[in-house]
Amino acid sequence: MTNKKPGAYAGYTEARKAANAKYEAETVERISLVLPKGKKAVIKARTEKTGQSVNSFINKAINEKIQRDDLKSGQEVQEDHPEDPATTQPATLPFTEEERAKIDLDLL
């Protein structure tokens, strides 16, 4: 039997699982996304090239579309969660023109 050091990682405990579930229930929402066959692979390949997660990529794309629509309609661009700096989106579009051109070409 091995002796564990005090404070050593005890593994993914039931308490950690419950704490994670509570945090997620209070801070995030989940959505199921249905894509045409092959689109998931296109998105995954793009995210691997850019070093971001699929979730981050999809969130950026959604935020860009919302901000672009707001700018077109003359509405003030709203931040998603102004109290949370980790999720606050800048007033500018999240993708550069060059990134948008590459994404548009990949999706054709």
Cβ(53)–Cβ(47) below 8 Å: yes
Q: Global pTM?
A: 0.55
Taking only the tens place, the pLDDT of each residue in 62-94 is 999 999 998 888 777 666 544 444 444 444 555
Which residue is listed with tokens 């692979």? 41
* Residue type at 64 in one-letter notation: E
Q: For the CA atoms of the chain, what is the radius of gyration?
A: 19
Which range has the worst mean pLDDT, 8-12, 36-40, 49-53?
8-12
Q: Encode burial over 84-107: b for 16+ CB neighbours within 10 A, e otherwise.
A: eeeeebeeebbbeeeeeeebeeee
Which range has the worst mean pLDDT, 16-25, 36-45, 72-81?
72-81
The alpha carbon of 89 is separated from its chain's Cα centroid by a whole number of angstroms, namely: 12
